[in-house]
Structure 1
Amino acid sequence: MVTRQEIERALRALGLGERSHVLVHASYKAIGGVDGGPATVARALVESLATVMMPAFTSERTSAWDAGGVFEGNAYRPVPPADFTPEAFTYRTPIDKGIGVIAEAFRTMYPVRRTANPWVSFIASGELADELCGPGTEVDGVEPVRRLMDAGGDLLLLGVTHTSSTSVHLAEQLAGRPLFLRHALTPNGVRAVRAGGCGDAFDALQPHVERLERRATLDGATLRCYALASYVEAARQLIEREPLALLCDSCDRCRAHRGRVPV
């Protein structure tokens, strides 16, 4: 059973501390068990770091359909789904289960700031929370990541791999791969936003960022930490060199990106 003190030691082993501003993607299952549960992990992060930011995506609840999304290259459903009624996004909307219970514990335990993007929001606590989640983050799904990168932040993959890394979507955008137009319900109606695509092939990034990696272990989990700017730049350079890099072979979104590459 992992303790809070062990989590804090692992963070220090990665060079993270009270001056660190960190985007965290985390899997509780990967750790195997923590004394106090997901709340202990959230507490260790908040009490050890200057700023903690996590994804707080809600598309499983809030996604809506709009005819404006039906155009070539957008990988969008041509007709509205018959069996789904969206829920309006608010500050208190629970996070999609796929993001993980640590992020949801973080959301409910602390007075976090949250971006107003109703499809792919982020939550943050600490020194840079207002800056990361403030005005201008309502539409572009990777803007909070860009702001953290510009502030000299770090990326922590806690028990997850690059397939969970939203920072790669920022690299895609910087390399010329557009975000997708999506729609979500808000209390004021349906809003258009921009969101990243598929991450299933992102583990192919590993050989290109391994030299940047600081690594630690926590029971059953591997922790990988990177300077965010260096990580994004490595991914951007890879995509610019190899325009089909990091795309899977089976989904509509990756097929849309492939269709933009000249033959």
Structure 2
Amino acid sequence: MTLSVPQLAAVADELLPPGRPVMVHASLRSFGEPVEGGPDGVLDALLGRGRTVLVPAFTESFFLAAAPAHLRPGRNGTDYATPPDESARPPGHAFRVDCGLVDPAMGALPAAVLARGGVHRGLHPLDSFAAVGPLAAGLAAAQSPSDVYGPVRALAAAGGTVLLLGVGLSRMTALHLAEQRSGRRLFVRWARRPGGEVFRFLFRGFPPVRAVPAPLRRDADGARLAVDGLPGRPGAGGGGRRAAGRPDADALRGPLLRGLPRLHRRRPRGAGAARLTCAGCQFGVHTVTG
């Protein structure tokens, strides 16, 4: 069985209000069935009724540069002794909004957005956002090297939503904005300008949270809407099908701001609990306030 664009559009219309932006995190493999048109078909369905689609389009594997010796702050969630390998990059290799590149790990949907006519992309060398639709230009323009999550704030200001298709809350980029607003100081990273000069900018916060605290999970599930008939992986939703999540950007702000400082101040206990073993958590845990 192949999922048609009209079927997907019907699901999108039930989940999403017309004329508003939506930030999408998706795993097409989780659908369990082929999708008509592949990622382009999914994008067409989401863009219906005047909606704007926003996706993270990160490029760390292409443009991350080594930190200059005199620009290495402490507690920065990185190992300066193992810098990125830039030897295979050509001279002048630098991020441009029209470069068309995206880390393969981001999935097929961001690549489809970047290939779409009329796409707008934020000006951030590692963590850019890309958007297509009536409100795309404004969302992308909200981003700069010193304001990595401007598009997420613009999404909330426009009454937008966050749509999770076959992925969990640990993949929701809005968590990083909540970290910042809860008092988390973002890490610093480096990239090169076209002339080869290295410059620094603000980068994302903690890596994906694998175990969400129970209060945060309950609050987020309150904003989740299950759609019957959407195929997915067994065991992740009712009847063996994974639900599509549609947390409202504003509705999630409160529970996230309450939950993140608790999560990153102490090490959870018990089987399956998140452990602060990565550099990001080891250093970042001491920068949360409140």
TM-score for both structures, normalised by structure 1: 0.89
Q: Does 1:78 align with 2:67?
A: no
Shift, 1:229, TM fit: 1.2
Describe how 1:209-224 pairs up with structure 2 within 5 A. 209-216=220-227, 218-220=230-232, 221-224=242-245
Cα deviation, 1:121-161, whole Å, max 9, x if unaligned, reads 00111222121111652332211101111221111111111
Cα deviation, 1:48-106, whole Å, max 9, x if unaligned, reads 44211111100011111123552221122323637444542122231111111011011
Greater CA drift, 43-52 or 171-180: 43-52
Q: 156, 160, 176: which one pairs with 1:169?
A: 176
Describe how 1:145-184 pairs up with structure 2 within 5 A. 145-184=152-191
Describe how 1:1-263 pairs up with structure 2 within 5 A. 1-14=2-15, 16-32=16-32, 33-67=34-68, 69-79=71-81, 81=83, 83-85=85-87, 87-90=93-96, 91-134=98-141, 136-188=143-195, 189-196=197-204, 197-201=206-210, 203-204=212-213, 205-216=216-227, 218-220=230-232, 221-240=242-261, 243-244=264-265, 248-260=275-287
- Aligned equivalents of 1:82 and 1:193: distance in 2? 16
Residue pair 1:157, 1:223 contacting (<8 A) in 2 also: yes
- Aligned equivalents of 2:288 and 2:18: distance in 1? 44
Structure 1: tracts of 5 or more residues without a match? none
| Aligned positions, number | 261
**Structure richer in strand, relative to its length:** 1
CA RMSD across the alignment? 2.3
- Aligned equivalents of 1:250 and 1:240: distance in 2? 17
- SS of the aligned residue for 1:64 comes to coil
- Aligned equivalents of 2:71 and 2:22: distance in 1? 33
- 1:225–1:69 Cα change, 3 Å: farther
- SS of the aligned residue for 2:191 comes to strand
- SS of the aligned residue for 2:185 comes to coil
- Aligned equivalents of 2:65 and 2:55: distance in 1? 23
Report the residue type matching 1:12 in the other structure: D
Residue pair 1:182, 1:193 contacting (<8 A) in 2 also: yes
Report the residue type matching 1:27 in the other structure: S
- Aligned equivalents of 1:136 and 1:142: distance in 2? 7
Cα deviation, 1:177-201, whole Å, max 9, x if unaligned, reads 1111011233243332212231133
- SS of the aligned residue for 1:198 comes to coil
* 2:237 aligned partner: none
- Aligned equivalents of 1:59 and 1:254: distance in 2? 19
Report the residue type matching 1:144 in the other structure: P
Greater CA drift, 91-100 or 182-191: 182-191
Structure 2: tracts of 5 or more residues without a match? 233-241, 269-273
TM-score for both structures, normalised by structure 2: 0.82
- SS of the aligned residue for 1:71 comes to coil
- Aligned equivalents of 1:70 and 1:76: distance in 2? 10
- Aligned equivalents of 2:124 and 2:194: distance in 1? 13
- SS of the aligned residue for 2:200 comes to strand
Percent identity, aligned pairs only? 28
- 1:242–1:203 Cα change, 3 Å: closer
